[in-house]
Amino acid sequence: MRSDDSWGSKHIETLERTSALIIASFGEKIRNAYRNRTIIAVSICLPLAALAVVLRFTARKIARAKVWYDDWLAFAGLISVGVFISLILVDLPDEASIQGAPIMESTLLENAKTVYVAELFYYITQCTLKFSILAFYWRIFNISSIRKPIYFIASFVLSWFIASILVTAFQCVPVASLWTPALRASAKCVELAPFFFGTSIPNILADLFLLILPMPYVWKLKITVAQKLFIIAFFLLGSFVLIASVIRLRLLLLLDLRGFLANWSVENSVLWSAIENCMSVICVCLPSLRPIIKLFPRASFLRKFLDSSHFSGSSSRGSRLEHGTRKAKESCHDEYELIERDRTICWAETGRSIEEHSMKTMEGACINVQTKIYATSEDIGQPAETV
């Protein structure tokens, strides 16, 4: 930490000259366009993120499945994104400042408080959504071999989050020097460029780990190559978040701190931070929407892939386990049984066939469903007897 050339001594001490710098670097049309662009972008991405979470919970209800940790973490991530975007909207330049009116120092100091809180919520959002994905993987891949990678990534994400949140919270000592002119002279602050780089790289690596983690397990499924590629492509939708993170890092490295407190809400890097957070919520929820997709007859091609592969949901399994106990049925409500833990055993006899399905639930209970089919030339087409 340094007191020279730091955010506290170099940036805050120039607040009195910020208004002139703003007018010099941002013309009326440019600032107005940036303001409108920010409003349009967040007005689109935040409702889409909220819709994704609503559909996620709706899908759980349709599938008659219990809401699990990954669902609640996705909901918490949406709330955090909402707070982050609200802070951006609160500090948007007003019409007077766009027209060139001087910006009061008190306004800049209030903006400094908003920036401080927004930074904290950015990291809270990213950490919450990453743990939502990890919880989702834990639930759908019911095998021991994936546990260690999940533990490793969870430890990596938690370490990154603790380091980022602590450095953000204490980026200046005393913290109040960020918005208190009397404390500027003695303030010691971190340099922002290395800080942004140091927190963004682990964030991007964590996104990359989460993107790669399910691929080997999907490839081991006993389904066609086309179906494997389809499921992998579904998970690869998360690459949009990775791209947004890289764009954000690039813009942060190009950030001009002159006039930042007045313009932060329309900065390119802040806009892409909002987009990254919204896309994270959407991508976290997309793999959970299979029960919703099945409601649309026109999505027959997509339904065919989902139904014929092991990318299957609890709604179809619920119909197969219709005669099971209530406790057993509730135990099986995983959205996706991506790993084939059990095998189908078939016996063929004269005039009769028996198909037995065995499934192990998350709680360790074992459910067996046996379907007996008796077929003769006279009764072909009769329904099967299920016991």
367 lies in which domain range?
Answer: 315-386
358 has which bridge partners? 368
**Does residue 98 surpass a pLDDT of 60?**
yes
Contact predicate 273/124, CB 8 Å: no
Q: Which amino acid is at 91?
A: D
Q: Write the single-letter amino acid at 244.
A: A
Q: Are residues 99 and 137 in the same domain?
A: yes
What type of residue is 333?
Answer: H
* Per-residue pLDDT at 15 exceeds 60: no
For residues 111 and 148, state if they share a domain. Answer: yes
The pLDDT value given to residue 262: 64
Which residue, of 258, 293, 328, is where some domain finishes? Answer: 293
Number of compact structural domains in the chain: 2
Query: Whole-model pTM?
Result: 0.73
Name the residue type at position 240: F
The percent of residues above 70 in pLDDT, for the chain, comes to 64
Question: 340 in helix, strand or coil?
Answer: coil
| Closest CA relative to residue 240, chosen from 49, 50, 82, 75 | 49
User: Alpha-carbon torsion 256, 111, 157, 166, what sign?
Assistant: positive
- Final residue of a domain: which of 293, 325, 343? 293
Task: For the chain, state the CA radius of gyration.
Answer: 27
- Residue 301: pLDDT band with limits 50, 70, 90: low
Percent of the chain with pLDDT over 90: 35
State whether 173 and 229 are in the same domain: yes
